[in-house]
Structure 1
Amino acid sequence: MKPQDIEDLSFRIIDEEAGDHGFDEQKWSIVRRMIHTSADFDYIKSVRFHPEALQKGIDAIKNGCTIITDTNMARVGIRKKEISRFGGDVRCLIADENVARQAIEEKTTRALAAVDIALPFIENGIYVVGNAPTALLRLIEHVKAGKVMPALIVGLPVGFVNAAESKDALMELDIPFISNKGRKGGSNVAASIINALLIMADSSEKPK
């Protein structure tokens, strides 16, 4: 089977096993891709969308926004064709020398320092957290302080320490977000959300 045939069959299997999930077409395209990436149907119950999340994310992509990720794994997993088509880019600063220097000087994590250094790129952009709760919590601090306003935050840090709590804090903000309840998440799942948005943005530009 060709790769596209495998993906199409996988989506049909997911549709059949999910049954009556209750999502509209756009939200289901995101949740289905999350399931496709993780083979985890729990996302049907745990995923959360801010009411403006999808439209804000799609508009930002079509306006050529910068997408910042907390890990290189998420950056590599995001489709590049659609990003370049709209004039945007995707960056991860975790390995940046300035990030490493600031983390050492301030005795903090690289993930947290990367958020600070990424501030000039985050305004009206998309920040993707798939691994580090510290990154999400730092970003929330900056949003609350009025230092930055992303078009969309995708928050899916994974783990046992502050992962669920950081997502709960995100969902208390009145800012476009896509997240989930609980400990599950990961860079691959976070990247899958962006890919679904990129496909929607690209499809909306093509002639019917």
Structure 2
Amino acid sequence: MSQMQQITAQGRQIEQDSFAIIDHEIERDHGGHSFSPEQWAVVRRAIHTSGDFEFAKLFHFSDGAVERGIEAIRNGAKIISDVNMIVTGLAPRRMQPFGVEAHCLISDPEVIAEATEQGSTRAKVAMQYAARLGWLDGGIIAIGNAPTALYEAMSLCQQGKINPALIIGLPVGFVKADESKRDLMATQLPYIACDGRKGGSPLVVAALHALMVEAAK
């Protein structure tokens, strides 16, 4: 076995050991959980990423959201994110078997020019641009930073301009982050979201990786 293979095997074992600890401690110290196995796969990986068991109380799923996400991945859906950190964080080895591609348009010259002209945010205009490209229909919208992107995605859905398979709405921060997630959870859209100011790109990546692992089963 090569060193790279050995490191991979060791890393996989560490991950499995970590999940076992989380499963044990959620029951022993936190009163268990009420998530479905597929939902728990998402929440557990969020806890693993953050070290924060509070996410077992903060995460929410619309009916069938995880199943829609799994199906979208199996169908090779595009993932459209609000920041490049999400694209960078996703493991190609998890995406490639399904032909899944991840994109962030926030640095596209057309987006920058249009946002400057509108006096808007690049994150908001990037969602508009992705909609014009047709990338959001059947795709997964992944928001970990910008509430303006999440609000624009919701607006495009409500106008009937896009029909995403899933919205992962986990923006972190102090300006409209909590409000945007609450507004998302008040809709009939397919979502994975959490309460409060917590969130961020690493949690979005964790959720997407969990969906990809489930899709591979």
Specify the code of the residue in structure 2 equivalent to 1:75: V
Distance 1:160 1:88 in 2: 32
Question: Which whole-Å deviations, capped at 9, do the CAs of 1:96-151 have from their partners, x for residues lacking one?
Answer: 11111111111111111111101120011000000001100111111111111100
Aligned to 1:113: 125
Distance 1:151 1:23 in 2: 21
Work out which of the residue numbers 50, 65, 73 in structure 2 matches 1:61: 73
Q: How does 1:149-188 map to 2 (within 5 A)?
A: 149-188=163-202
Does the alignment pair 1:3 with 2:3? no
Q: CA deviation at 1:79?
A: 2.4
* Stretch moving more, 110-119 or 11-20: 11-20
Distance 2:86 2:175 in 1: 20
3-state SS of the aligned residue for 1:139?
helix
Does the alignment pair 1:82 with 2:91? no
Question: Which whole-Å deviations, capped at 9, do the CAs of 1:67-112 have from their partners, x for residues lacking one?
Answer: 1111111111122223221122111111111111111111111111
Question: Which whole-Å deviations, capped at 9, do the CAs of 1:16-72 have from their partners, x for residues lacking one?
Answer: 111122222111111000000111111101100001101111111111110111111
3-state SS of the aligned residue for 1:22?
coil
Specify the code of the residue in structure 1 equivalent to 2:137: E
Work out which of the residue numbers 58, 69, 83 in structure 2 matches 1:46: 58
Distance 1:125 1:137 in 2: 17
Number of equivalent positions: 203
3-state SS of the aligned residue for 2:198?
coil
Distance 2:78 2:127 in 1: 14
Specify the code of the residue in structure 2 equivalent to 1:15: D
Work out which of the residue numbers 22, 25, 30 in structure 1 matches 2:37: 25
Does the alignment pair 1:92 with 2:104? yes
Aligned to 2:22: 14
Aligned to 1:140: 154
Specify the code of the residue in structure 1 equivalent to 2:109: E
TM-score by length of 2: 0.91
Distance 1:28 1:44 in 2: 9
TM-score by length of 1: 0.94
3-state SS of the aligned residue for 1:40?
coil
- State which structure, 1 or 2, has the greater radius of gyration over its C-alpha atoms: 2
CA RMSD of aligned residues (A): 1.1
Q: After TM superposition, which residue ranges in structure 1, 4 or more long, deviate above 6 angstroms?
A: none
Q: Unaligned 5+ residue runs, structure 1?
A: 204-208
Distance 2:137 2:180 in 1: 20
3-state SS of the aligned residue for 1:68?
strand
Q: Unaligned 5+ residue runs, structure 2?
A: 1-6
Does the alignment pair 1:128 with 2:136? no
